[in-house]
Amino acid sequence: MKVLIASDHAGFELKEQLKQRFQADFDFEDLGTFSNESVDYPDFAHKLAEKISDKSYQYGVLICGTGNGMAMSANKHADIRAGLCWSKEIAALVRQHNNANILVMPARFIPAETAYDIFETFFHTDFEGGRHQRRIDKINISHGE
């Protein structure tokens, strides 16, 4: 499966660990950052979210210190549902109920093993549809377009 992945400086190390751990099963396109030198997280979140929003890719992973900045930035884009996950239970729910297409993780608050569990859960959980689709259809805001 092809997956976009990006981080800021705080998430760089965890991003590299995830790529290493899952390289046999996932084809990662890494959008940066490529070191732990300070960068601005919105630059990476927007780049990744644009590629999901325009349907170039189906799924992405964003990682920063708390995950909040990446999630807030990515969720500004149409048809993006970036879910901030601290546990595998949350990862399952954002897929089942919210059909999240971007997994966001807080590198400074979860150990690598937890991140691996979250990643696996996110990518092995299906959207339930039904009543959840009706709710998802209400997320995007139209500005008279």
Give the domain CATH number at 105.
Answer: 3.40.1400.10
Beta bridge partners of 27: 2
Per-chain mean pLDDT for the chain = 95
Beta bridge partners of 135: none
Active-site annotation holds for 97: yes
DSSP H or E run through 76? none
142 within domain boundaries? no
Measured between alpha carbons, how far is residue 53 from residues 24, 77, 95, 108, 113 in Å?
Answer: 26, 7, 17, 27, 30
Taking only the tens place, the pLDDT of each residue in 89-103 is 999 999 999 999 999
pTM of the predicted model as reported, rounded to 2 decimal places: 0.95
- Residue 144 above 60 pLDDT? no
Range of the structural domain that residue 123 is part of = 2-136
User: What domain count does the chain have?
Assistant: 1
Work out the pLDDT band at 143, boundaries 50, 70, 90.
low
76 within domain boundaries? yes
| pLDDT at residue 134 in the model | 86
Exactly one of 46, 97, 124, 143 is catalytic; which is it? Answer: 97
Residues of the chain with pLDDT > 70, as a percent, come to: 97
